[in-house]
Amino acid sequence: MAKLYRLLTEEDTSAFCHKVSDALAKGWELYGDPSYAFDAANNVMRCAQAVTKEVDADYSPDMKLGQQ
């Protein structure tokens, strides 16, 4: 069994909320608080949220975390 970690990022729009909601619907759990930062190169705010999930498999760096 392995515990997986992902950091979801996106511009501060509804797309970020949908990305996090999709992960939660697939069994991922929130890990810590969300973060916000200004992306000066693109003149937008960016959001980040860490999520974790326990899976019945051995960890491998080749895993496609978004498909777990």
Domain positions in the chain are 2-57
Query: What mean pLDDT is predicted for residues 39-44?
Result: 96
Under CATH, to which class is 2-57 assigned?
alpha beta
Q: What is the pLDDT of residue 64?
A: 87
Q: How buried is residue 6: exposed, middle or buried, by Cβ count under 10 Å (0-12/13-18/19+)?
A: middle
Per mean pLDDT, which range of 3-12, 27-36, 59-68 is the poorest?
Answer: 59-68
Beta-bridged to residue 29, according to DSSP, are 52
Query: How large is the average pLDDT for residues 45-61?
Result: 95
